Amino acid sequence: MSIVIEPPRSSKPKRTNWEKYGWMYMRASGVLLVILIFGHLFTNLWLGEGIKAIDFAFVGGKWSDPFWQVWDLLMLWLALIHGTNGMRTIVNDYAERVAVRKTLTYVLWATCAALIVLGTLVIFTFDPCPANGTIENLPSFCPAK
């Protein structure tokens, strides 16, 4: 197959430049992720008892507040797409065989989609006071307490 070089300044409608939008996405999501992840680390690892205090009751308390639900949802979507697109760039740089590159790229986006669906469902169908929880593991605001 011969390579077709489009004449410059042709009035033909151009194909969408996905690489350009990918480039822009990395920067836009990057700025938001700095805020979201620094805030995430500050509230979870710095405030209070840090890592020591993280358990089911801690997550239950946070996700009873729509503010943290939206925060974590944004982080989930933005970070997974940012990370997957970064990995795709690395695959493009180092995977020389076309079949290897295509397979890895497919696996990356399939993993990304699966985790986004899983995480989104978890955030919105989460019950901070589940019936299967032993009482000492539940947040203090649960009626079983």
Partner 1 sequence: MPSKPAGTLYRGKVGMWSWVLHRITGVAIFFFLLVHVLDTSLVRLSPEAYDAVIATYKTPLIGVAELGLVAAILFHALNGIRVILIDFWGKGAKYQNLMFWIVVVVAFVIFAAFAPRHLMHVFHLG
Residues lying near partner 1 in the complex (CB under 8 A) = 27, 30-31, 33-34, 37-38, 41, 45-46, 49-52, 54-57, 59-60, 63, 76, 79-80, 83-84, 86-87, 90, 111, 115, 118-119, 121-122, 125-126, 130, 132-134, 137-138
Nearest-approach distance from CB 97 to partner 1, in angstroms: 20
Neighbours of 54 (CB within 10 A): 14
Distance CA 47, CA 41 (A): 9
Distance CA 11, CA 14 (A): 8
Nearest-approach distance from CB 4 to partner 1, in angstroms: 31
Identify which of residues 105 and 111 has a Cβ nearer to partner 1 in the complex. 111
Give the CA radius of gyration of the chain: 22
Identify which of residues 5 and 139 has a Cβ nearer to partner 1 in the complex. 139
Identify which of residues 106 and 126 has a Cβ nearer to partner 1 in the complex. 126
Q: Which two tokens stand for residue 51?
A: 């890592």
Nearest-approach distance from CB 45 to partner 1, in angstroms: 6
Nearest-approach distance from CB 124 to partner 1, in angstroms: 10
Identify which of residues 71 and 79 has a Cβ nearer to partner 1 in the complex. 79
Neighbours of 97 (CB within 10 A): 8
Of 111, 126, 113, nearest in space to 59 by CA:
126
Neighbours of 52 (CB within 10 A): 8
